[in-house]
A and B are shown apart, each in its own frame.
Chain A
Amino acid sequence: MTSPTDARGAVASSVASASAEETARIVSTLIRVTGDWALAEDCVQDAFARALVDWPVHGIPSKPGAWLTTVAKNGAIDRLRRSATERAALRQLAIVAELEQLGRDGQERSELGDGPLGDDRLRLIFTCCHPALPMEARVALTLRTVAGLTTEEIARAFLVSESTMAKRLVRARAKIRDAGIPYRVPPPRLLPGRTAGVLAVLYLLFNEGYSATGDQLVREPLAREAIRLTRLLVGLLGESPHTSEALGLLALMLFQHARTAARVDSAGDVVTLEEQDRSLWDAGAIAEGVALLRTADRRCLERHERPGRYHLQAAIAGCHLMAREAGSTDFARVAVLYEALALIAPSPVVELNRAVAVAMSQGAEAGLALVDALDRAGSLDGYYLLPATRADLLRRLGRTTEAARDYRRARDLAPSEAERRYLSRRLAEGRGSAAERSFPDGQ
């Protein structure tokens, strides 16, 4: 026997899973046909609201996606008919006629579909991530229309008021319409740059969720959403030339996400990569990431492509995660990968990480020389991980007085309470230990 509570629970979970799977598909199709973003989003949201009322009474339909599409489509037709002014009537009629055709073939994929790049959802992703939109608008719009989060949920995740977020979305949609941002997948010659732009938005979204320590519970869903959207993008890109980098990004996210449970201890303190309890890592996510990485490697070899920045970062994370214990990490390979990364995405932080890998594979002396060169260059002034790394290397070389000075320098610069506690602990220990702090977690 099913109690009413169970039934409501079953409906709620069906609606939630339909929402995750179907929102982008239905919204993107309605936008293509009507050209009206707000109308499309509202009708899809109304359809989900209707499902919560209707399904407990009439049962969950056998094809929830088709049910939701029909309800959203009918809602759009109603609204258009009601709002049609005389001047716009002809165009509205044409839109209504096209809407009525939707789903006639039992499938609501794009009628214009030509291969994987013809999917409406891909148009939606590329349009949301158009470089003419401000970055924060790209992120918000992607969460609202592609992921189907409510404005309130997005506002909560970015710690702004709901009205601020609503305004941001309104402005973004208005710019798409008024500046003439096309609703389409960019032509091949623009595709490399624009795909890189989409990946950057997804990675930013992921990091918003991943790096937050204070509001982990609020933001963790962002990381999961970013993974889901990247997975969707990988599927939609199919055999296009930029799939390897998308695969690399997905692997990188899975690798970082796999360590979530081990990153902070029960006291809320940061646990470094080397000291994490590896049994807390998500072995399934790591295995999937490794498989994706192998596919990306193979594609690059076959197509004579150089691996991109996310692909390389994933390979580095993979070296750490595939080691049974911190000590057996292939640091020589990590150093080579950082060198390759520095060539395509030069940054002092990458150089610092390379220095650590060199220290681990060739000895602290060699690493210290690289760190000192960075220190002299001054580009990392004020960045606490530079003195923290230098202190660790000095400690291993037995130069404890100098080490203590750098630990203090690092502690004064550290951005969070947890990091300051960690560095104070190191300073108090004032002795060498087998567990070396090396890589800042998450590279």
Chain B
Amino acid sequence: MEYLLFICSDPAAPTYVPEEDNIQEWVAEMEGRGVTRAGDRLRPVADATTVTVRDGELIVSDGPFAETKEWIAGFDLIDCSDLDEAIEIASKHPMARFGKIEIRPIWPFDTE
């Protein structure tokens, strides 16, 4: 099954410690296991742009669509056997410690 991991910031999480960020290890392990499909960091929300079309009119606004203290800092698309494996993969990601990770199953168009 495919899942998208939203790597999120969390103001309530412990302070980020660069020396404890083992993202390289995580990437190496997950690539070795063949479970990662894509993944990257995202630029901060200050660089976000929101687009809406209403009554045929394009509205472009700066910033994210939701004003929250938690934002998506990155993503990983993974392909693994089930939710328990997805949880295990997410739990090893350093941002599980410094932020939080939301696991969303991919919903392919050819299924209900």
In the assembled complex, B81 has its CB within 8 A of some CB on chain A: yes
Chain A positions 181 through 220: 1 when the CB is less than 8 Å from some CB of chain B, otherwise 0: 1100010001000000000000000000000000000000
Q: How many residues of B contact A (CB 8 A)?
A: 11
**How distant is A173 from chain B, measured CB to nearest CB, in Å?**
13
Instruction: Let me know if B84 is at the binding interface, CB within 8 A.
Output: yes
B76-112 vs A, CB cutoff 8 Å, 1 = contact: the mask equals 0000011110110000000000000001010100000
Quote the shortest CB–CB distance from B102 to chain A (angstroms). Answer: 12
- Total interface residues on A, CB under 8 Å, equals 9
Contacts of A323 in B (CB 8 A): none
A178 neighbours in B (Cβ, 8 Å): 105, 107
Q: A180–B87 Cα gap in the complex (Å)?
A: 11
Q: Which of B3, B82, B103, B105 contacts A182 (CB 8 A)?
A: B82
Residues of A within 8 A of B84 (CB): 181-182, 186, 190
B82 contacts across to A, CB distance below 8 A = 180-182
Q: Does chain B have a CB within 8 A of A90?
A: no
Do A180 and B86 touch (CB < 8 A)?
yes
Asked if A132 lies at the interface with its beta carbon under 8 angstroms from chain B, I say: yes
Enumerate chain B residues within 8 angstroms of A130, measured Cβ to Cβ: 83
- Any chain B CB within 8 A of the CB of A179? yes
A179→B105 CA distance, assembly (Å) = 6
> In the complex, what residues of A have CB within 8 A of residue B23's CB?
none
In Å, the complex CA distance between A21 and B107 comes to: 38
- Is B1 part of the contact surface with A, judged by Cβ < 8 Å? yes
Beta-carbon nearest neighbor of B110 in chain A: A87
B107 and A182 contacting across the interface, CB-CB below 8 Å? no
Q: Which residue of A lies closest to B3 (CB)?
A: A180
Q: Tell me the complex Cα distance, A179–B1, Å.
A: 9
Q: Which residue of A has the minimal Cβ distance to B105? A: A179
Distance between A64 CB and nearest chain B CB, rounded to angstroms? 35
Within B1-31, the residues touching A (CB, 8 Å) are 1, 3
Q: Whole-angstrom distance between the alpha carbons of A179 and B82 in the complex?
A: 8
Which residues of the partner chain B approach A181 to less than 8 Å between Cβ atoms? 82-84
Residues of B within 8 A of A190 (CB): 84
Residues of A with C-beta under 8 A to B105: 178-180
Chain B proximity of A76: nearest CB distance (Å)? 20
Distance in angstroms between the alpha carbons of A181 and B3 in the assembled complex: 12
Which of A130, A178, A190 has the most C-beta atoms of chain B within 10 angstroms of its own C-beta?
A: A178
A interface residues with partner B (beta carbon < 8 Å):
130, 132, 178-182, 186, 190
11 CB-based A-B contacts, threshold 8 Å:
A130-B83, A132-B87, A178-B107, A179-B83, A180-B83, A180-B105, A181-B82, A181-B83, A182-B81, A182-B84, A190-B84
- Name the 9 nearest CB pairs between A and B, nearest first: A182-B82, A180-B1, A180-B82, A180-B83, A181-B83, A179-B105, A179-B83, A182-B84, A178-B105
